[in-house]
Structure 1
Amino acid sequence: MARLYYAPRLLLTLVALITIVVPYIADYNETHVLNPTWPGHARFHGGRTMSMGVYLGFMTLWKTWSRDQDHLWTATMLAATYYITQFSAYYYPGATAWDPPQHFSVPHVHLYVVVPMLSLVALAQIMERWRVSGIDDGGRKAL
């Protein structure tokens, strides 16, 4: 039964760690925050986005491993926040996924990150709901 207890938490931990680290890999470079052509306000938003990833990642870790009754539901919502907002960014006027000199031939390349991450979050929530409502081999309610 321990595997059922830890599997959703491990999935959310993976999402949280990726959320903390990957925005810095993607944005703290010469095409984004260190881009000399970016105005200060664009750097402000880039920095805010990276900081939001760190905050959401750590909040996800905290709620994933806390003993609160709603811990995994809250952790799921926190883990999904960064990726839902990343997907929504495509719908702002003039928004593009990449600026020169970067170029990717795949349209909406961020969806290759957003969809798998949201899938992991959803899978963790489904597994937890199944675990909590299920019965283990001994006929007892899984806790």
Structure 2
Amino acid sequence: MLSTLFFRRAALTVAVSVLGVLVPYLEYSPTHIFNPDWPGHAKLHDVWQLLTNSTFAAAAVFLTWTRPDLRLAARLGLVAPAAFLISFFTMDLYGGSMVNSDGTELRFGSVNASLVMMLIVSAVLGYLAIARDNSQGMESGR
């Protein structure tokens, strides 16, 4: 029978895969990395951010599948979505926007899709960052 720990590991892996795989896939496009209207410096920062987030995600997946206590992995996984949420809610301070240079914006109803995605990922990782898997007992000592 599959354990609760397995399901928590799977949920954490899926959540950080959004950041380490899905987001880079979506940004490998003419509206982001290959946007001819973006200065080279902005492209460098985008690629840097994607590689950093993917590295955090890979480290979180490694910790997820090599340790019984998932809280550290979840906390590491929270770095990128927390930074996104802070950036999103403060974008008026620095002139940021979720509208692409071609005028498009991916939305779920009237809400930005990236915001919805990052809120869901943050909720999953936030729960796992504080929850202890009782099926494992107190073996990890943390």
Distance 2:126 2:111 in 1: 24
| TM-fit CA distance, 1:142 | 6.7
Distance 1:61 1:41 in 2: 30
Distance 2:71 2:51 in 1: 23
Q: Which runs of 5+ in 1 are unaligned?
A: 136-140
Distance 1:36 1:98 in 2: 16
| TM-fit CA distance, 1:98 | 2.2
Q: Which residue of 2 aligns with 1:15?
A: 15
Q: Which residue of 2 aligns with 1:52?
A: 52
**8 A Cα contact 1:7 1:124, kept in partner:** no
**8 A Cα contact 1:23 1:53, kept in partner:** no
Name the aligned partner's letter for residue 52 of structure 2.
Answer: M
Q: Which residue of 1 aligns with 2:76?
A: 78
Distance 1:86 1:55 in 2: 16
Percent identity among equivalent residues? 20
| TM-fit CA distance, 1:77 | 0.8
* TM-score normalized by the length of structure 2: 0.80
* TM-score normalized by the length of structure 1: 0.79
| TM-fit CA distance, 1:113 | 0.8
Specify the SS of the correspondent of 2:104: coil
The runs of 4+ residues in structure 1 deviating greater than 4 Å are none
Q: State how many pairs are aligned.
A: 133
Residue of structure 1 aligned with 2:85, choices 65, 84, 87: 87
Specify the SS of the correspondent of 1:110: helix
What's the Cα RMSD here? 2.4
Q: Which residue of 1 aligns with 2:40?
A: 40
Structure showing greater Rg? 1
Per-residue Cα deviation, 1:87-108 (whole angstroms, up to 9, x for no partner): 1112141011122314236354
Per-residue Cα deviation, 1:49-105 (whole angstroms, up to 9, x for no partner): 1101210110111111123x7x51210111111111111112141011122314236
